[in-house]
Structure 1
Amino acid sequence: MRQLHCPKCRTATFFELGQCSTCETLLAFNWKLFAFEALKSAVPCANRTLIGCNWSVDDGHPFCHSCRLTRTIPNLGSNRNVMLWKRVETAKRRLVYDLTRLDLPLAIPSGPQISFDILSDETAGFPIMTGHLAGLITLNLAEADDAERESRRVAFREPYRTLLGHFRHEVGHFYWEVLVGQTSLKSAFQLIFGYESRSYEAALNDYHQRTERSYDREAFISEYATSHPWEDWAETFAHFLHIVATLDSAAALPLSLDERSRRTLEDPYMEADFEALLASWSPVAYSINELNRSMGLNDAYPFRLTPAVRGKLHFVHMAILHFRQPTEPGPDATEAPQTAEE
């Protein structure tokens, strides 16, 4: 996240805030300008009062460009659900920021668009599975509960599990269709990730029934990536977003950088040189892990980028660059009606 500032006093301000911590100016994030503006000069999202959405609207729609992608909201009959939904939407706004900075579409022409169902086990009466289908991302509201998410992280032996991580992974499935599935890159994908024609359902069933949990750490970024080529792609796509977003944050830090690193950090989302991206990422990842350890915390990025994993990340980067070629105008997101979970 590029450093943001209060429009009145110029204090550095976190992306999630709705009020300047120094001069107390009420803030609204302008999605098109990537900057805060004073709320008195903006039209706030209709969700500002309910869940603290700090984005503005500019086209007459009541919801901001992030909130309007939510098709189904959780049952708001409890304060806990409202609190958890607020956390979900806060993470989702970072995802929408990522995708916008990458210049990726939120919809496929004459096809699906990205939308979200935020559902709860209690209302549904059965366990909600977080997942993706034809652009629709379903998220279990319980993932916004820190204790519940940590319990699942330990149970599934995952080194990393966050709301934002879920969103970046699930949206990767949508972008497989956009960047790979209907393009000339499909054959290259199959050489690198494997053949996606294998039954997806059968592959996931096999994965969850495994008793032996070891896997080839040289070839895969995570254990879940071994389940199916589509999951390997989604995990890798999520890690690419982790990298460029964190480098974008690092750009504002007082770092000692050489000329090439400074050029990379001008806009990591649009950097065309993959090796330059990774050259900048390695010291940043090491630094944030050391800082976490000095505070008694786990590593912020507990992953090792082996040559095979670097190759997969390179393919994701190449697919994004390939999409950006000016062959035809990119699609805009259409509107998803917002309804409540019943």
Structure 2
Amino acid sequence: MKEFQCPSCRQPVSFEHVACANCGILLVFDAPRIDMRRLASNQACRNREIIGCNWCVEGADWYCGSCRLTRTIPHLGSARNIMLWRRVEEAKRRLLYDLSRLGLPLKSRSGEQVGFDILSDQISPILTGHLSGVITLNLAEADDVEREARRVAFREPYRTLLGHFRHEIGHFYWDLLVNSTSFQAPFKLIFGDDSQDYQGAINSYYNRSDRSYDRSGFISEYATSHPWEDWAETFAHFLHIVSTLDSLAGLPLSLDERARQTLTDPYLESDFEALLALWMPLSRGINELNRSLGMSDAYPFDISPAVKGKLHLVHMAISAFREQQRLAA
């Protein structure tokens, strides 16, 4: 994510800050303008006090654009649930930032609005997933201990809240960017035949005794379960890449002219090869930094030629959609 500055003292502030650590003024994030502003009267989201939402409201709304998308919140009878819900909403706001920078809408062709149900499984099991634009997320995924236990149980190298959101929204954008478009045939060629029974494929995946898979063809094991899941995993990784490169732009590094041009706005970069040329050494570098601190790799994945082709298709589909919107405006 790009670096923001306090509108008063110009010191760096993070995307989540509600106040400047240097001068103390209260801050709000202006989502339409993608900038930090000084908090004015009647701008605070109603969730600012309870979960630290720092997005400003629009007009006479009580809730910001992000909080209005949450259809269902967990039961707030415990401090733990409030703490976990706060983490979930922080990750969701980063997702919405990604989508805004990419120029992707939050409505389907038929007008279905993206929505979020944040549910606790204290009473009955909750499965994180997507259906017709609604993303359901199990609140337990915001608990570091529980999420790590699930990561190990499912033999996943990576499992985060933001990763969940980026994966699940990928299903929504498959329908918008690929289904019934000129990209449907290339999708079948590269990702596989999506007409195969989805639920049967998922059940078969979880019943496998052999957990090995073709690492040269898929970005993750779960991507092998069905072409739709392969797309969602790949879409999430595309967001990982452009978001991290956006953060790179604010670091005091010596870069050549082409790299600086790419980092002007990685989300809108038209040259896919330029994105990958920056990402490959960066991902190796952040992994080495993590190892130096005794931590696991931040990006424990290899981008093979086949995976690169899948990422390229995601990039092309997003770029084509954005161009169609520009021409229709």
Q: Within 5 Å, which residues of 2 pair with 1:1-342?
A: 1-40=1-40, 43-122=43-122, 125-327=123-325
Q: Alpha-carbon deviations, 1:283-332, whole Å to 9, x = none?
A: 2111111111111111100100000000000000000011012357889x
Kept in 2, the 8 Å contact 1:17–1:27? The answer is yes
- 1:98–1:230 distance in 2 versus 1, CA, 3 Å: same
Kept in 1, the 8 Å contact 2:109–2:176? The answer is no
Counterpart of 1:295, as a letter, is: L
Kept in 2, the 8 Å contact 1:74–1:85? The answer is yes
- 1:41–1:281 distance in 2 versus 1, CA, 3 Å: farther
Which stretch shifts more, 318-327 or 306-315? 318-327
Counterpart of 1:131, as a letter, is: G
Counterpart of 1:239, as a letter, is: H
Counterpart of 1:194, as a letter, is: G
Cα RMSD, aligned residues only: 1.3
User: Partner of 1:44: helix, strand, or coil?
Assistant: coil
TM-score, length basis structure 2: 0.98
User: Partner of 2:36: helix, strand, or coil?
Assistant: strand
Output the CA distance in 1 between the equivalents of 2:309 and 2:224: 16
User: Partner of 2:324: helix, strand, or coil?
Assistant: coil
Output the CA distance in 2 between the equivalents of 1:311 and 1:63: 40
Kept in 2, the 8 Å contact 1:28–1:42? The answer is no
Counterpart of 1:43, as a letter, is: Q
- 1:304–1:73 distance in 2 versus 1, CA, 3 Å: same
**% identical equivalent positions:** 64
Output the CA distance in 2 between the equivalents of 1:303 and 1:235: 12
Kept in 2, the 8 Å contact 1:193–1:229? The answer is yes
Cα shift at 1:41:
6.0
Output the CA distance in 2 between the equivalents of 1:97 and 1:260: 25
Cα shift at 1:111:
3.2
Q: Alpha-carbon deviations, 1:72-103, whole Å to 9, x = none?
A: 00011111111100000000000000000000
Which stretch shifts more, 178-187 or 89-98? 178-187
Q: Alpha-carbon deviations, 1:101-135, whole Å to 9, x = none?
A: 0000000243322100000111xx22100000010
Output the CA distance in 2 between the equivalents of 1:59 and 1:174: 28
Output the CA distance in 2 between the equivalents of 1:38 and 1:101: 22
Counterpart of 1:100, as a letter, is: S
Q: Which has the higher contact order (CA 8 A, sep 6+)?
A: 1
Q: Alpha-carbon deviations, 1:159-185, whole Å to 9, x = none?
A: 100000000000000000000012111
Kept in 2, the 8 Å contact 1:72–1:116? The answer is yes
